[in-house]
């Protein structure tokens, strides 16, 4: 079983994942957490299609197919190609994923992991050996050239949003947060290791954060809805 641990990121305290967590671990093992529904994240699934109407439709259908299932342990390179993947529609932190450097199953083999509600993006690197997924919705490959219509508001419990595709850069405000349960995180990429975190915070009351155009993603868990200020 995994454990929760408070880890300082600069001057800010976030929740880091320690070790492996089973699919039934509930909220254990949050790396800052991802929560709630997947509102606002559907934009990144949109793709520009070229050619005729028929070929464009076939291309879109091909891109919407799951890259791999939400339950299983996959070898990177054969079962799972390196790249960025997304899972949406997860509830109650029952989706667990893990990037591992080997198949030993030992504590120090874990490179990054999370329990997810809502949406999560993960980048699997060519140097990873195993990708584990339990209790998740199917994973789909993310086209790095995909275009969306960035929103100016977010579900505060929506999980992970891609900056410039799901949400627009800018300063956002969330109000009505209680008991430090609201957690937000700005990340430079979707590798989801501690090195990915640019800034994070646990907030009571009103939260205000500026998301830069150079940020990769924004994660929000158990917060009030965010609106662009």
Asked whether residue 86 carries a pLDDT value surpassing 50, the answer given is yes
Asked whether residue 140 carries a pLDDT value surpassing 50, the answer given is yes
Q: What per-residue confidence (pLDDT) applies to 180?
A: 86
User: 127: alpha, beta or left, given left = phi > 0 and alpha = psi -120 to 50?
Assistant: alpha
Dump pLDDT digits (tens) for 43-78.
Answer: 333 333 333 344 444 444 444 567 899 999 999 999
Q: What per-residue confidence (pLDDT) applies to 64?
A: 52
pTM of this structure: 0.72
Dump pLDDT digits (tens) for 90-104.
Answer: 987 889 999 999 999
Q: Could you tell me the residue range of the domain that residue 98 belongs to? A: 3-228
Non-local (6+) Cβ contacts of 178 within 8 A are 204
Dump pLDDT digits (tens) for 145-193.
Answer: 888 899 999 999 899 999 999 999 999 999 999 888 899 999 999 999 9
Asked whether residue 31 carries a pLDDT value surpassing 90, the answer given is no
Cα torsion at 103, 85, 113, 172 (round to 10°)?
170
**For the chain, how many structural domains are there in total?**
1
Helix (H, G, I), strand (E, B) or coil at 138: coil
Q: What per-residue confidence (pLDDT) applies to 45?
A: 35
Q: What residues does 193 pair with on adjacent strands? A: none
Query: Nearest-CA neighbor of 32 among 164, 174, 187?
Result: 187
């Amino acid at each position: 079983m995994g454990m929760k641990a408070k880890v300082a990121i600069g001057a800010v305290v976030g929740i880091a994942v320690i070790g492996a967590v089973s699919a039934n671990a509930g909220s254990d093992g949050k790396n800052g957490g991802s929560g709630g529904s997947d509102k606002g994240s559907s934009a990144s699934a949109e793709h520009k299609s070229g050619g005729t109407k028929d070929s464009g439709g076939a291309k879109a259908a091909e891109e919407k197919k799951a890259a791999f299932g939400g339950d299983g342990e996959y070898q990177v390179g054969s079962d799972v190609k390196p790249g960025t993947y997304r899972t949406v529609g997860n509830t109650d932190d029952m989706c667990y994923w893990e990037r591992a450097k080997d198949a030993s199953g030992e504590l120090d083999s874990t490179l990054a992991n999370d329990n997810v509600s809502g949406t999560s993006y993960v980048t699997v690197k060519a140097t990873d050996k195993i990708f584990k997924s339990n209790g998740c919705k199917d994973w789909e490959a993310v086209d790095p050239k995909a275009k969306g219509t960035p929103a100016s508001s977010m579900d505060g419990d929506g999980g992970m949003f891609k900056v410039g595709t799901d949400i627009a850069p800018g300063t956002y405000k969330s109000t009505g947060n209680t008991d430090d349960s609201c957690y937000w995180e700005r990340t430079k990429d979707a590798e989801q290791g501690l090195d990915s975190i640019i800034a994070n915070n646990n907030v009571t009351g009103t939260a205000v954060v500026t998301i830069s155009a150079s940020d990769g993603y924004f994660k929000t868990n158990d917060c009030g809805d965010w609106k662009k200020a």
